């Protein structure tokens, strides 16, 4: 099958709406999500049974040609096996749309493919474990790709296969206007329940979007560097190559603010769940009050996530609209979480609360929408450890040092502002000297550039023949370079 290609001038964009379903519709939602989970678990059990059988046969000395035939792990193969078994393992399968079971099989096929590619070395990154069985407390979601999927003309209802007409909590006018004008087409719909228990429908659409900035938005500095952090007063520090601080976005710290309430609710839930039963090695079944408390915990987490998402969307939209070139650092956020134990628990929570990876993800597609350019600095570029005044390094800079004091030129500057200035000079001509000011857009070693008209590129270096992990001072002597904080 040919790979789907996005037409020129069109982009894939998502629209998400909260729903107000009736009790009957909500039961149907849960039934569809349960069907997806059932299909996933049944076929995962079948795959594991075949793998265990082949392992046992090998232990008996049976050659590979004589082993039990392996299962086809593709979506088509899993779907064929499911259709042969569903009448026995799920006699109620006809109550739901076929898309429910296809969603579970698709997630299993992707998980098995990721695990296989990881163990054979075809997938980069951390090792991917073997898929697990889904429990009743797993995230409830189902994806529809065929059937009747539409937004009603009254702009307050949507239609999904087998479920029918569902009332939305908010207006769908933005999507409906595009569909009626012919500038949008729905590709799929995903029905999912969030942590607060509210159901949402997300439409994956193909949209004809012009690369332009709204007329009411005023332009600011053409080139800026953005340093991200976890401190309350410096989630984003935005500066220009000449050393001016344009803006400083405060971190919402929504999860930190909710910790007191979460601790109280989780202690209450632990008491309501019941004492530990040593015979069955489990706790007693949760009561209705325990379920109510769990709902309050979920709503608290959902509120914290909504506050964080609101701040990030507003900040990244303003960046993409007001500036032509935006330079950000490439952080290994998952690696920053790893290790540390109890002594690093507070920092890990702050990193998660800041959602640092989301900032770059949002800027990636918003710069394409508004015609700006996103430049990603190399992961090992020492933006924090390089002086924005003279370009020399300070390898012994620690996280506790919030003020950068240069031992060579005597510059005293805020640590985050110093890093933002160095990043800005990767995207355009600056007024400083040294390696941080010598890079140009698309020419920096390890720099990646993304825009509405160009794809990600890796360009050659422009560092006066120095090694990638070194920088030089004004005398030309190599100075050891540390990892950017």
For residues 483 and 324, give the distance between their C-alpha atoms in angstroms, rounded to a whole number: 28
Q: How many residues comprise the chain?
A: 485
DSSP state string for 380-412: T--TTTB-TTT--B-TT--TT--EEE-TTT--E
Alpha-helical segments (H) within 274-323: 288-322
The active-site residue out of 99, 106, 329, 378 is: 329
For residues 141 and 26, give the distance between their C-alpha atoms in angstroms, rounded to a whole number: 12
Is 329 among the residues known to form the active site? yes
Phi, psi of 170 (to 5 degrees): -135, 165
| Contact between residue 118 and residue 127 where contact means Cβ atoms under 8 Å apart | yes
| Contact between residue 176 and residue 151 where contact means Cβ atoms under 8 Å apart | yes
DSSP state string for 142-192: EEE-SS--EE-TTSSEEEETTTEEEEBSS--HHHHHHHHHTSEEEEEEEEE
**Other CB atoms within 10 Å distance of the CB of residue 159:** 15
For residues 370 and 451, give the distance between their C-alpha atoms in angstroms, rounded to a whole number: 9
The active-site residue out of 106, 353, 378, 416 is: 416
Is 416 among the residues known to form the active site? yes
The active-site residue out of 227, 353, 376, 450 is: 227
- Positions annotated as catalytic residues are 227, 329, 416
């Amino acid at each position: 099958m040919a790979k789907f290609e996005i037409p020129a001038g069109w982009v894939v964009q998502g629209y998400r709406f909260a729903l107000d379903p009736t009790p009957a519709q909500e039961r149907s939602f849960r039934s569809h999500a349960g069907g997806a989970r059932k299909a996933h678990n049944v076929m995962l059990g079948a795959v594991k049974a075949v793998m265990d059988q082949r392992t046992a046969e090998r232990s008996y000395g049976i050659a590979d040609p004589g082993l039990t035939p392996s299962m086809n792990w593709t979506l088509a193969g899993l779907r064929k096996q499911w259709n042969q078994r569903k009448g026995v393992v799920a006699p109620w399968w006809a109550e739901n749309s076929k898309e429910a079971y296809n969603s579970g099989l698709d997630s299993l096929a992707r998980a098995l493919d990721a695990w296989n590619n990881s163990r054979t070395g075809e997938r980069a990154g951390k090792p991917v474990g073997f898929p697990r069985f889904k429990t009743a407390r797993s995230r409830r979601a189902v994806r529809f790709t065929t059937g009747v999927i539409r937004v009603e003309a009254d702009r307050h209802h949507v239609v999904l296969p087998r479920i029918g007409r569902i009332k939305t909590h908010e207006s769908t006018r933005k999507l409906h206007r595009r569909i009626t004008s012919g500038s949008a087409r729905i590709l799929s719909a995903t029905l999912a329940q969030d942590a607060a228990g509210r159901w949402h429908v997300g439409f994956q659409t193909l949209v004809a979007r012009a690369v332009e900035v709204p007329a009411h938005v005023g332009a600011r500095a053409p080139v800026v560097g953005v340093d991200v952090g976890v401190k309350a007063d410096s989630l984003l520090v935005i500066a220009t190559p000449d050393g001016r601080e344009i803006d400083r976005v405060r971190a919402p710290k929504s999860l930190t603010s909710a910790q007191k309430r979460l601790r109280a609710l989780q202690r209450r839930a632990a008491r309501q769940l019941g004492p530990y039963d040593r015979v069955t090695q489990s706790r007693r079944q949760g009561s209705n009050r325990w379920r109510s408390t769990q709902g309050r915990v979920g709503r608290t987490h959902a509120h914290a996530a909504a506050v964080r998402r609101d701040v990030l969307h507003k900040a990244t939209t303003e960046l993409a609209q007001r500036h032509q070139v935006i330079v950000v650092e490439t952080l290994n956020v998952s690696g920053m979480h790893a290790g540390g134990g109890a002594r690093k628990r507070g920092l890990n929570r702050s990193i998660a609360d800041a959602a640092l990876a989301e900032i770059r993800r949002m800027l990636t597609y918003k710069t394409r929408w508004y015609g700006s350019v996103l430049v990603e600095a190399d992961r090992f570029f020492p933006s924090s450890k390089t002086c924005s005044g003279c370009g020399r390094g300070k390898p012994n800079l620690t996280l506790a040092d919030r003020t950068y004091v240069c031992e060579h030129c005597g510059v005293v500057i805020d640590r985050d502002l110093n890093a933002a200035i160095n990043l800005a000079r990767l995207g355009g001509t600056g007024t400083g000297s040294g390696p941080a000011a010598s890079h140009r857009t698309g020419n920096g070693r390890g720099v990646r550039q993304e825009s509405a008209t160009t794809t990600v590129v890796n360009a050659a270096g422009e560092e006066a023949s120095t090694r990638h992990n070194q920088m030089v001072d004004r005398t030309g002597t190599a100075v050891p370079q540390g990892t950017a904080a």
